[in-house]
Structure 1
Amino acid sequence: MSLADLTATELLAKYRDGSLSPVEVIADVLDRVSALEPQLCALYALDPDGARAAAHESEQRWRNGTAGALDGVPVTVKENIATRGTPVPQGTAATMLVPAAEDAPAAARLRAAGAVIFSKTTMPEYGMLSSGVSTFHRLTRNPWDVSKTAGGSSAGAAAAAAAGYGPIHVGTDIGGSIRLPAGWCGLVGLKPTHGRIAVGTPYAGRAIGPLARTADDAALALTVMQGYDPRDHTSIPPASDVFDVQLKGLRVALLLDAGVGLPVDPEITAAVSSTASVLEQAGAIIDPIPPVITREMLDGLDRFWRIRSATDIAALPEERRAKVLPQIRQWVATAADLTASDVFHGYTQMSAMASAVTEVFKHYDVILSPVAPITAFPAELAYPTDDPAKPFEHIAFTVPYNMSHHPATTVNAGYSTAGLPIGAQLAVPHHQDLQALALAAYLQSRSARQPWPTLA
């Protein structure tokens, strides 16, 4: 196995016993990047020299006994998570490129733990797409099939993780932007309890979380990044949950029909149902449940987000506004037709989603569902519907937990006949993030997975 494919827990054990150096590991990761990046286009602001220097510093800390919790582990962060000195284009050519003055809270905590942040990762236009389509970045592709999207908006993070650009990658999620690409790339991707990882620039539903090949690595990243930061008024202190779950008697709500949006592919239904069977065999109680959200809720969210994006884009100078992706401009062009009542009603539907999810958790410990109703779609499409008027038909399984602030993680549930990963989603009550990851770890230990893609 290449050093680039070792998990963070494996790397730390080898650093600890002296059998491996961070310098060797970052060299192997950079070799992997050189080989695959021309096809995948997952990275932004790659810094090989800075990475090598940081790895040498980490090597010294391991030698003198001062290593941190992630010392020497290669890590990437999504481009909209600020890192000092690097511009934050937000996936669009319309943004002025101004170097960030400081690290965002998550990036700062990773550095403090000794992680080697060797690159940022790509995202689509303003993070408003579940694909890698961007007017600033090259088109990011899925390592499992480069004709397909890696998902979005944490597009580069998911592609990098699946391709073995080191073990830990950090994304953001406001409607599924960690979980959708994680599901389409066969990864564990956690959207934490809202505020558990400080965002720095909070917005309703926005969260930061890890994408990794294993639940253990995602849990390790969460514990490093979590905690209150005064730059984010929504952030909260670290939770006291543990990386453990009791399966006997666990009450699992099985949600196979979102009730709105694209129909679920039968292969996805079968894979998630098989995941439910694994839990049932371990003693969990599985109950199918009806849809949690409605068309009114999803359309209301669309209206509110459309006004928000239209307002942001309208504030740009005309020459920059013209650089925004045409599909985004087409979507926001209809915002002028909305009344104040339309927008207010849309805002209320975000709370309605939260209430609907909270009601389910009065009776169940876990909600198990598909991550998305479809497998990865063609890379060139901005939306799976290829219709800017219908941009959110694939997020009905994921977006409710952004609105309700519940943690939700993905785990691979199998593969389509075309060989594409199928993701299952595990949502749990507030502050039980580590239990969700422990459940994902259990399922990983019981699954037969295909080898990671090599693009050979």
Structure 2
Amino acid sequence: MDLTDPTTVTTADLRSAYRAGELTPVDALEAVLHRIDAVDGVLNSIAYLNSSEAREQAEASATRWATGDQLGPLDGVPVSIKDSVASTGTPWRHGAAANRRVPDSTFDAPPAARLKEAGAIVFAKTTMPDFGMLASGVSSLYGIVRNPWNLSMSPGGSSAGAGASLAAGIGWAAVGSDIAGSVRLPAGHCGLVSLKPTQGRIPHLAPSTVRSAGPMARTVAEATELLSVLSGPDARDLFSLPGGAVRVEQCMPDLLNLPGLRVGVLTDMGYGPGLHPLVKRVVRAAADALSAAGASVEEMEALFDHNPYPALDRLFQVRARAEWESLSEAGRDQVLPEISEWSSRAVGITGAQHENDLGAVARSAAQVQQALLPYDMVLSPILPGLGHRAEMVGLDPTAPLAHCSFTCWHNQTGAPAATVPFGAEEGVPVGVQIVGRRFDDARVMQVAGWLERHRTISLAWPVIPVAADPLEPALFASEYQEA
């Protein structure tokens, strides 16, 4: 194990080095802070550096390791949290310049509280777009976040800074949040593992039926460790599920019974951007690997014979408009223009129309759930293409979340959905999404771990970000016609 640059080793290696006295949590934190100094000037992934408190946490962890009193797998591991996750004494800006002067948080949201209880070093908050309502990293407060695999490309969003920082070796894990794909999309863009858990599995504030906090990491094992810390009930979140945390040992791929696993392969939503052939090739390769190992793999038909997205888009518009209207007049003028313009279409929507949209989205979610019922797991793309340019708010600026077609409906059903990189095309990683039945988070992570173990690519992480190299337009899903 080469400890010359600690940020390049796994958490298992970190623990081994801590145990042997070859490294301390203070050393790990200082390596992360050095990496931030070296690369974040071009990435723009860090919203707030919590260096003073993080050093205190690192020193306390070092003492625990020296006395054999460590608190668990994340003790002494530097972990970041998204701007939108409240943590005592740190800013909460929600990506918006209008929130620049909001007082620092006076409480820990459940994810922050769990990390601190587990001895993790919460060293930073990561950047995100205004209100978390873009699947990209463009923000009125933070500017443009860039993907270290190719600085001309977006890291995805809304957990944009989390994705960019992890791929570049800044920290070992990150907490993001997901309302339409916001941990899975950055994971897809940046070659990471993530989980949008069963709704309620990971408690969060404010309570929501569709938005969930989720773990992000470079490996399945590290994402699983984070899941084991974050999951479990919290009385402050009225939707949090009863029962204990998801345990690491429940998620081991060796537990997977592939000959008994029924897998659906979904490559056509029936609406939205068409699937790029390079992405489809990676999904097909993952399906073939599962099939060769004994799983029963079946191609699925398109989920929809109509476009269900306009109703969901209007719900997102209403959500964004409500936050926009909560700001002062001066604050409203500071919101990203694309967000202001898109959400302005919510003006004039009546209560009855909103209720109709809620009903339409619920019916579409039920249709998705019904289509997935014959399968234990469904394999699909995360993104329709290889990504989009860093300065773009989405593939379609008039509907900035519309390219989330493969991810957004699993927020509405509440089902767990994980991502894992399985291929690489044109110099960027390509991931697949694994969707399970509600409450089956552990088996979803088992499948993710199995695919990680059986992929043929080896990811050389861009700890030195790759210079901007615009790809051919045809490689970006923004150029595609509707399927």
Find the counterpart in structure 1 of residue 63 from structure 2: 60
Report SS of the residue matched to 2:194.
strand
Percent identity for Structure 1 against Structure 2: 38
Task: Summarize the alignment of residues 100-115 of structure 1 with structure 2, pairs less than 5 Å apart.
Answer: 100-115=105-120
- Partner Cα distance (1:396, 1:286) in 2: 22
Task: Summarize the alignment of residues 296-335 of structure 1 with structure 2, pairs less than 5 Å apart.
Answer: 296-335=307-346
Number of positions where the alignment pairs a residue of Structure 1 with one of Structure 2: 453
CA change 1:71–1:315 in 2 (3 A) is: closer
CA change 1:370–1:134 in 2 (3 A) is: same
CA change 1:383–1:361 in 2 (3 A) is: closer
Structure 1 residues 138-147 or 328-337, which shifts more? Answer: 328-337
Amino acid at match of 1:157: A
- Partner Cα distance (1:208, 1:293) in 2: 28
Q: Does 1:393 align with 2:398?
A: no
- Partner Cα distance (2:375, 2:451) in 1: 19
Q: Does 1:201 align with 2:206?
A: yes
- Partner Cα distance (2:321, 2:205) in 1: 23
Amino acid at match of 2:106: A
CA change 1:364–1:302 in 2 (3 A) is: same
Give the TM-score taking structure 1 as reference length: 0.96
Alpha-carbon shift at residue 171 of structure 1 (Å):
0.2
- Partner Cα distance (2:357, 2:428) in 1: 35
Report SS of the residue matched to 1:94.
helix
1:228 to 220, 224, 233: 233
Amino acid at match of 2:258: L
2:12 to 6, 9, 17: 9
Report SS of the residue matched to 1:394.
helix
Amino acid at match of 2:96: T
Task: Summarize the alignment of residues 58-97 of structure 1 with structure 2, pairs less than 5 Å apart.
Answer: 58-69=61-72, 70-95=74-99, 96-97=101-102
Find the counterpart in structure 1 of residue 454 from structure 2: 446
Q: Is the 8 A contact 1:172 1:206 kept in 2?
A: yes
Q: For residues 164-201 of structure 1, give each alpha carbon's deviation from its aligned partner in whole angstroms, at most 9, with x where no partner exists.
A: 11211110000000000101100101101111111121
- Partner Cα distance (1:275, 1:150) in 2: 23
Alpha-carbon shift at residue 239 of structure 1 (Å):
5.5
Give the TM-score taking structure 2 as reference length: 0.91
Amino acid at match of 2:52: D
- Partner Cα distance (1:341, 1:290) in 2: 33
1:181 to 186, 203, 212: 186
Task: Summarize the alignment of residues 208-357 of structure 1 with structure 2, pairs less than 5 Å apart.
Answer: 208-237=213-242, 238=244, 242-243=250-251, 244-293=255-304, 295-357=306-368
Amino acid at match of 2:419: T
- Partner Cα distance (2:306, 2:91) in 1: 38
Alpha-carbon shift at residue 47 of structure 1 (Å):
2.3
Unaligned runs of 5+ in 2: 467-483
Alpha-carbon shift at residue 112 of structure 1 (Å):
0.6
- Partner Cα distance (1:341, 1:360) in 2: 29
Q: Is the 8 A contact 1:6 1:166 kept in 2?
A: no
Q: Is the 8 A contact 2:227 2:246 kept in 1?
A: no
CA change 1:107–1:359 in 2 (3 A) is: same
Q: Does 1:41 align with 2:44?
A: yes
1:420 to 423, 428, 433: 428
Find the counterpart in structure 2 of residue 372 from structure 1: 383
CA change 1:320–1:66 in 2 (3 A) is: same
Alpha-carbon shift at residue 72 of structure 1 (Å):
0.4
Alpha-carbon shift at residue 295 of structure 1 (Å):
4.5
- Partner Cα distance (1:294, 1:60) in 2: 60
Q: Is the 8 A contact 2:176 2:216 kept in 1?
A: yes
- Partner Cα distance (1:360, 1:211) in 2: 28
Amino acid at match of 1:455: P
Structure 1 residues 432-441 or 129-138, which shifts more? Answer: 432-441
CA change 1:166–1:316 in 2 (3 A) is: closer
Q: For residues 343-395 of structure 1, give each alpha carbon's deviation from its aligned partner in whole angstroms, at most 9, with x where no partner exists.
A: 2221113322331232134310001000010122110111122x22x223211
Q: Is the 8 A contact 1:302 1:346 kept in 2?
A: no
Find the counterpart in structure 2 of residue 150 from structure 1: 155
Q: Over the residues paired in the alignment, what is the CA RMSD in angstroms?
A: 1.6
Unaligned runs of 5+ in 1: none
CA change 1:7–1:256 in 2 (3 A) is: same
CA change 1:295–1:320 in 2 (3 A) is: farther
Amino acid at match of 2:404: I
Q: Is the 8 A contact 1:257 1:264 kept in 2?
A: yes
Q: Is the 8 A contact 1:8 1:168 kept in 2?
A: no
- Partner Cα distance (1:375, 1:435) in 2: 27
Amino acid at match of 2:362: S
2:439 to 411, 431, 439: 431
